[in-house]
Amino acid sequence: MKKVETELKDCYILEPDLFGDDRGYFTEFYNQKRMEEYSLNTIFEGTVQANRSMSRKGTLRGMHYQLGKSCQAKLVECLQGAVLDIVVDIRKNSPTYKKWISVELTAENHRQLLVPKGFAHGFLTLEDNTIFQYLVDNFYDPSMEDGIAWNDSDIGIIWPFEKYGINEPILSEKDKNRQTLKEKSVLFE
């Protein structure tokens, strides 16, 4: 497995090794010893819950996070189809506060993204029947769920809808009505 640095502090792309033959391939998608070797175990303390979503093309899920003791680090990957994964550093004292990156995660490239605590996370599905998996280091708590507007102009995320043939994103009611980061009273330090 290869660890690739991103422009955001504590946020990494992981590229698993693939071992294959005419039958298919094998890869490790999580290895605690490797996380320790790469000093990522302090960012991702281990899996306590695994989630999957299936979405049609053009679905935008985000930008989500959990607050307080329910804050989560995530190790995410696309098992089927493709996504444009976006993370925003919303830790007020971070040198990369309010900065964001996008990473294309596909079933073919097998890339994973390690999303630290204190980051808003979202993704845009680029194909129908896209299956996305999250390994999280803390249990989901609906009372501590929060998010910011996917189109917060102060952050300026570029969602290249036209590039992927998407006219308009498909959003949940919750995600349509999220506040901007500036409107949030509770943030991460």
The CATH number that applies at residue 25 is 2.60.120.10
Domain that holds residue 64: 2-183
Is 121 assigned a catalytic role? no
Tell me, yes or no, whether 60 lies in a domain. yes
d(CA 101, CA 29): 22
Query: Per-residue b/e over 40-70, b at no fewer than 16 CB within 10 Å?
Result: beebbeeeeeeeeeebebbbbbbbbbbeeeb
d(CA 70, CA 52): 19
DSSP state for residue 4 in the 8-state scheme: E
Catalytic residue, from 12, 64, 110, 121: name it: 64
Q: Which residue has the tokens 């330090």?
A: 189
Number of independent structural domains in the chain: 1
**Cα Rg for the chain, rounded, in angstroms?**
16
List strand residue ranges (DSSP E) for the chain, in order: 2-5, 12-15, 19-21, 24-26, 49-55, 60-66, 74-80, 82-89, 100-106, 112-115, 119-125, 130-136, 145-147
Tell me, yes or no, whether 128 lies in a domain. yes
Tell me, yes or no, whether 22 lies in a domain. yes
The token duo for 16 is: 């698993």
Tell me, yes or no, whether 189 lies in a domain. no
Kindly report, residue by residue over 32-82, the tens digit of the pLDDT: 888 888 889 888 888 999 999 999 999 999 999 999 999 999 999 999 999
- Backbone CA torsion sign across 96, 98, 101, 107: positive
Mean pLDDT by 10 residues, the chain (189 residues): 95 90 83 86 90 98 95 97 98 96 97 97 98 96 96 97 97 96 79
Is 140 assigned a catalytic role? no
Tell me, yes or no, whether 145 lies in a domain. yes
pLDDT at 142: 95
Tell me, yes or no, whether 84 lies in a domain. yes
Catalytic residue, from 12, 65, 121, 134: name it: 134
∠ CA 159-12-175 to the nearest 5 degrees? 35
Are 26 and 19 a contacting pair, CB within 8 Å?
yes
Tell me, yes or no, whether 188 lies in a domain. no
